[in-house]
Each structure stands twice: as structure tokens, then as C-alpha cells.
Structure 1
């Protein structure tokens, strides 16, 4: 029993136990893996053979000749059963092994998937053949060669070769594990002895230090953890002084960090007196009223009394704060003798959550409506409710419009995702703004005509602009589309270009309903939408202008808006231009 109390023996036995356990688990895992791998490969090979059989049967007109050929090709060592129709399931084979396999096909419900679901099924089966048990792999492969839903190809093969390979692998694994175990035994004893010897010296030195005796410095024989422990022991007195200085420095660092934190930090003692507060906490105390201060004192008192942290929400001065009040426990009396309050301003996060919830609701509505219309009009056409060509074409046009609407919504969501992920790729090159504007306006020609909206264009620039052509088409399309939706019959939409020293300026104006002042500062935010009742027809998801601003900023440009209710809205876009040597021909 004395030897069992030795660290050497304990460490040695521990290493042996861990290594033995790992080797056993690894050996079992490897044997299971190889067995599964060999079975999987056999099933894969049988499937390849079945595909070859199917190819031969499909490629030859004489099925009988093809069947004889594939039997000669596949059988020996494998076996082949061809079922061309339901009557083949009841054939009486002279070969008892084939009879056993046919019986397995008829009785095993898993092979019904081959006929009913056209699925390939591989099963490992055991049968009594020639007075002993044999294990076979039986594969069922649906066939289309006989124009019959009940036709299939079945190939079976003995697993003796797999078993032999598995046994050979198991022997190799066992021998390797045995060699590793022997090597580990030698290494573990050597390692445990080398580790514990310096620990024994440290033990004797610690007892002498406890008795107040001076120690000679322990010799450091290595630079590992034990060597570092000896160095720490030798320098204990110096470390005490060093630790005191470090505590002082850390206290100063703590105060600086707390003052620099984005969250407020406020601490109380057991008499509810403030001990520590940073500038954020001071601002929070200035925001809350006397009633909320009393509420905070009550929460702190409850935390110190019961010793449980409390999360509390508090709204003050239109700001939403989350308070995390945690106790400071005195280990001697097992009771709270103070509390720390972390004050986190969650105003922006709550605002974003609300906007996301609104966005999800809007997107769900936007998706549901076109999907229902697509389903309804499609079913009407398929059910023959509309038969005249004009009505069918009208329904198909509606289906096309709703499909485009769905595509537009999905593209906007994908664009926002790319912007957030920083994956917006820009192809910046010199672009003729005249061509850009004219191409965009062509897309709105019919819309302008249908809604009786007048369109004016004026170009007062000569230089080329540095931009991504396709992205700027998207920008102009979005802004003009918004202008169309916020105008009525008889209104005007104009596009004007100007040129400054460094920029091409594109001004898009409309004489529509305008934007209320309270919306101006928010229209470029994601998910933000103004009054939908003021729009013409379908409204968007609140992502268009966010995408527009992101694209403009990616061009190192700017976008601004001026608007008045009942007067109209003007968007001003500034894009860097090519230097003066590049002009429009």
C-alpha cells in the first residue's frame, strides 16, 4: 500500500490507463470504420455492376439476348436475378441460392422501395445455405429497360472476401496497439520518475520554509513547468513586493478601463453609498428621475439581501437602459456587502429590433400576396376556368408581373446581405452619364405614358464619371421608381446633370406628394418606410434607398435629399468624375 501512495506509481498507472483506454476505443472505432467502409465499397461496386446491366439492357433490342449476356457478365462470383414483371417474382429456380435470394426479395419490405419508389436498396442478409449460415450483400436496382414499373435488377455477392480483409485489418490493429502499449509502459515509468523527483525536493524545501528555516536555492534543472515552479519558489520574497506593485498598477489600469467603457459602471457598499462610478454612469444618473433612483436603490438592496443577480429594464429621456445588478459577496460572512450595476444603453439595439420586426412582417406580407396570386391564377388556368386566349394571356401577364415582383424583393434582400457582408463588388470605369440616364429612362417610358407623367431631361456636363454602370442603373431605377409611386397624373419628373471641379452631379426631381420633415433624416436607413397610404400602387420593403446610399458611398460619392409636402422631392447625387482630359465625344 505504501507504493500505491507514491506519485510515481499513481502517475504511471494513470498514463497506462489513459493510453490503454484510448487504444481500445481507437481500435474498436477503426475496426467499425473499416467494416463499414468495406461493406459500403461492396455495395458501391454492386451498384456499378447494376448500372452496367441496365445500360446493356437499355441499349439492345433483343432483350433475351441481352439478359443472357449480362448473366454471363455478372454471375460467377456474383449472382444476378432479373425481374421484368410481377410474374418473375414467383419463378422457381433450380439454384437453391437464387431461390433463397428471391424469397428474401419477396419477404423483405425494404426491397418494396425498389419497385414502388424507384430507389436503390442495399441490404446485408444472412441465409442458411448448404447446411451453414452465409452472409451476402443483396442490391436492388430499379430498371427501366422492360417498360414495366415492376422491373428491377438484383445482384448478390458473398461477403467472405470482406470478412477475410476485415480479419486481416483487425490483426494488424491489435499488433500495433500491443506494441504501442509496451512502448507507453516504458515511457510512462521514465516520465513519471523524471517529473516527481524535483517535486520531492520542493516538498522538503516547503516544510523547511514552514518551520521558518532558510532554504538554499533549489537547483533548476529544466525549463518546463516544474523548473518554473522552482524559480517561483526561489523568488517568493521578491515576488511579494512585485505583486504589491502590480496590484497598485492594476488598480490604476482598472480605473482607466472603467472610465473608458461604453457601459456605465456603478458600485454600492452595504449602506447603499456610491463607491465607484464612471462617466457613463454619471450620465445615466442625470437622465433618470427621483422615482427611478428610488427604484434602483430598492433593486440594489434586494440583490445584496438575497445574493442573486437581477436584470432590469429602465426607460429615461427616450433612452432604453438595461441594468445588470450583481452582488459583491463577502466570503467570510457569506452575505452581500455591496453591489455592482452595469448600465448598458440599448436604445439603438431596441430600435433596430423593432425595425427588423416590422421588416419581417412587411416581407412576409409582400411574399404572401404574390405567392397567393401566382397560385390562384395558375390554378385557374390549369383547372380550365379561363379558356379564351385573351383571358389566358391576361392571367399569364399577371403571373409574370408577380414573378418579377418576387424576384425584385429577393434581389433587394440579397443586395442588403452582400452589403452587410462587405461582398459588394464594384467595377469602376469611365461612364457616359448621358447614355446611363437615357437607358434608365427607356425602362420607364411605358410607365410614364400609362400614368400621365411628364418627363424632362437636361444635360449640363461634358466629363465622364467614374462608376459601376450596372450599379448606377440600379440607383437611378430605384429613385425614379420611387418618384413614379409618389406622384399623381399630371405631375413632372426631371433629371438634370451638372459638373463641378471633382464631381458629376445628377439631380432627380419630382412634383409629387413630397416627404414629411420627420422622415427626411431616416429615409436612407434600412427597413424604413414612409407613409404607405401616400404611394401609387405597390410599396417597397424599405430597403431600396438603403441600397442606393450604400452603392453611392462605395463610389466615394454622396447622396442627399430635399423635400417639402405637396411640393415634391429632389435627390442630389455626386459621383467623382474623370479628369478634364476625358470628355464626352
Structure 2
């Protein structure tokens, strides 16, 4: 009986010990589980600096160690992804061209701000993830993208919008990495080449106009020289008249070449000598040069300077050229018995110069083009008065080189008003 009691005692003792150990282990395991739950919540809130603080050994300790290492890897990976994303976003923002990437179904995967502007996308809607049919409002570009979608060959086209903006669009397929026959989308590069096209057209027109302008006097000179060579018996008056025409055409050719060279030099921003230039002194020189022309037509050349001491930092010859071109044009295109007024004054920290005439005026449809090279409102009249067609183009470029602007108001048959504005940064 005593043996049975002893066995029962040992069994109860062992059971109590096991129960105590189990309870202690359960409490400890629960504490570790709470630590796991706490840290996992921190991680889900992107607090990747959090770590498990468990000093357990064995498998639980190995689990805690692996969990902490996993957090470190996640933190490092997410930081790298965020940095790469920031780099990509910065690159896209800095690109002056429009970049658009779409998947095989036409959903937008990536787009930069310039592309949004070009494609007339809404500024207030999320663009990524939406289909191009829902967000692209520029119909001509949308049509080309839809036609290209899923194509395996790259394509480059030019599109002119309703607003006369010219876009060059490059469309390229996007292939699945390392697999050349599976297309996952398209990337579209959009570049605004409006100015480039305008410059190319201007260059082409300039070459054609120069060729024409040079050919006319050269043909005339060549023709009269040939006539004089083949007809030795021409009377002296006819010969002198022919020689006078040759001289006149030669002078015209010289003026034309000089204007072309001057315009080219100004456009290339040549290192012209800058000096303190008195506008009043330069104007008086121009006045002395042109007043006889005004007197011949009984035109009163009036002037008014609010401050005769006004000076600008610029090239004296260029500034003289501006005043001379405007005054000379005013005299040439103003009928007899009228007046021309030149006004110079300061306004809003700018120097303003106005040349106002009572001339033939400029048709409204021509006003926006008179500063183009070789553009003439009345070609026959311009040649009669000796114009090369480059005077106003030269004037505009000189004023532009000073950081200024030139504008014109005109009414056909009543006269014109040219206004030159030079900003304060050129004052002295």
C-alpha cells in the first residue's frame, strides 16, 4: 500500500512539474507571439526600422533571426525601389519631349507631364491605369496610337493639329524581357517640332528669295552689258541710260548683299562692340541723313524727346540702323505734304521709341508678316523705292538682341505707328 502511495505521489509530482513547465512555456510562447504580432503591425505600417527583440534559442530563436533578416531585406529592397522610382520620375519630368507607355490593351502604364499637355489629358484625373480612349483628347494622335497598337515594327510620323502645332511621333513596340516575339505594349515619344518646321520653311524660303532677289539685278546687268557689247553704234544718250541702269542694279545688288551679311551677323549674335549710346545723338545723325528726302516730298519730320540724356548699352551702328530703317521707311511710304513724328520717352522702366507716319498704311492681313525676310506688302512699290525686303527683319533682330520688342499698329490709307521697347537692363 505504501508503494502505491509512493508511486501516486511521484506521478502527481511529475504531473505538477510538467504542468508548471507547460504553463511557463505557454506564457513565454504567448509573449513571443505578441512580439511577432506587434512587429508585424509595425512592418505593415512601413516602419521597417522595427526588429524582434527575442532572445530565445533553438528553432524559435532561428525563426526570430530569420524574421529580422527578412525585415532588413524588405527595407533595403523597398528603399531601392523608391529611389529608382524617384530617379525615373525625375528623368521623365526633365525630358522636354512627351513620353507615353501603354500595355497591349491600351491602358496607360507610364506618362510624363509634357505628354499630358500634348495629349490634352485632364489635369485633375489620375491618368496611369486608364485606357487611352478615356484620357487622350488629341484625336489625331489617338488615332495613330490605336492604329499602331500591337504592331511589331517601329514607326515615325508627323502630325499637324488643328492649332497648327506640328508633332513628330515615334512609336516603338515593347517586348517581354529576353523574349523578342512577345509584345507587352508600346512606347510613344512625342516631340513638338513646330519651330523646327517653321525654321526649315523659313530657310527654304530665304534661299529661294535670295536666289530670286540676286537673279533679278544680275539678269538686268548681264542683259544690258550684252546689249552694249553687241551694239557698238548705240548713241551716247542710250548708252548712258543703259550704264545708269547697270549702276543702279549694281548698287541694289550691293545693298542686298550688305543687308544679308548684316542680318546673318546679328542672328549669330556676333561680338559687336558694345558702348554707351545716346539715343538723341544717334537720332540727330539719322535726321541729318534723311531730312533732305523729307524736304523733297514736303514732309515735316518732327521729333520729341522727353529726356535727351537717355542712353542704352548696345552697338551704336545697330541702334542707328534701327532708327534709320524706321524713319527711312516712313519717308518712303508717306505721300507728299504730310508729316512724320518720332517720339522717345521712358515708361514703366523701359525706353519707348515711336515712329508715327501718315503713309499708305499696311493691310491687316500683312501686319503679322512684315518683319519676315523679303516680305513686301507691295512688291512693285518696294522695288521702286529701293527696298531690299530685309530692313524690318534686320530691325526686329537688332531690337531682339537688346532684349526688346517691336510692334506695329496700322490702318490702310491712314498711316502706321511702329513702337520699339527697350527694357531697363540696357539703361545706362
TM-score class normalised by the smaller sequence: 0.5 to 0.7
CA distance in 2, matches of 1:293, 1:477: 52
Shift of 1:465: 3.4
Whether 1:263 and 2:108 are equivalent positions in the alignment is no
CA distance in 1, matches of 2:346, 2:98: 49
Indicate which of 316, 324, 341 corresponds to 2:161.
316
Indicate which of 380, 383, 392 corresponds to 2:227.
380
Shift of 1:245: 5.0
**Preserved CA contact (<8 Å) 1:488 1:536:** no
Partner of 1:532: 378
CA distance in 1, matches of 2:388, 2:183: 52
Shift of 1:423: 0.9
Distance change >3 Å, CA 329–CA 499, structure 1 → 2: closer
Distance change >3 Å, CA 514–CA 383, structure 1 → 2: same
Indicate which of 142, 158, 166 corresponds to 1:293.
142
CA distance in 1, matches of 2:162, 2:113: 17
Shift of 1:324: 0.2
**Preserved CA contact (<8 Å) 1:484 1:536:** no
Aligned residue for 2:179, secondary structure, equals coil
Correspondences of 1:430-469 after superposition (within 5 Å): 430-431=277-278, 433=280, 436-444=282-290, 447-448=293-294, 452=297, 454-460=299-305, 461-463=307-309, 465-466=311-312, 468-469=315-316
Distance change >3 Å, CA 386–CA 421, structure 1 → 2: farther
Aligned residue for 2:273, secondary structure, equals coil
Indicate which of 360, 367, 370 corresponds to 1:513.
360
Whether 1:276 and 2:121 are equivalent positions in the alignment is no
CA distance in 2, matches of 1:427, 1:294: 53
Whether 1:360 and 2:194 are equivalent positions in the alignment is no
**Preserved CA contact (<8 Å) 2:272 2:315:** no
Structure 2 unpaired stretches of 5+: 1-71, 121-135
Shift of 1:455: 3.2
Distance change >3 Å, CA 254–CA 543, structure 1 → 2: farther
**Preserved CA contact (<8 Å) 2:302 2:339:** no
Indicate which of 327, 343, 349 corresponds to 2:196.
349
Distance change >3 Å, CA 260–CA 500, structure 1 → 2: closer
Shift of 1:555: 4.9
Aligned residue for 2:149, secondary structure, equals helix
Q: Structure 1 length normalisation: TM-score?
A: 0.50
Whether 1:327 and 2:173 are equivalent positions in the alignment is yes
Shift of 1:250: 2.5
How many pairs align? 335
**Preserved CA contact (<8 Å) 2:209 2:374:** no
Q: Which moved more, 1:332-341 or 1:369-378?
A: 332-341
C-alpha offsets along residues 379-437 of structure 1, whole Å, 9 cap, x if unaligned? 22333456433333332222222222222222222222222322141342354725x33
CA distance in 2, matches of 1:426, 1:411: 19
Distance change >3 Å, CA 250–CA 420, structure 1 → 2: farther
Higher relative contact order (CA 8 A, sep 6+): 2
Shift of 1:543: 3.7
Shift of 1:517: 4.1
Shift of 1:316: 1.9
Correspondences of 1:25-174 after superposition (within 5 Å): none
Aligned residue for 1:422, secondary structure, equals coil
RMSD: 3.6
Partner of 2:258: 411
Indicate which of 270, 275, 281 corresponds to 1:423.
270
CA distance in 2, matches of 1:252, 1:265: 16
Distance change >3 Å, CA 288–CA 317, structure 1 → 2: farther
Shift of 1:309: 0.8
CA distance in 1, matches of 2:413, 2:137: 41
Whether 1:251 and 2:98 are equivalent positions in the alignment is no
Shift of 1:240: 13
CA distance in 1, matches of 2:233, 2:88: 77
Q: Structure 2 length normalisation: TM-score?
A: 0.66
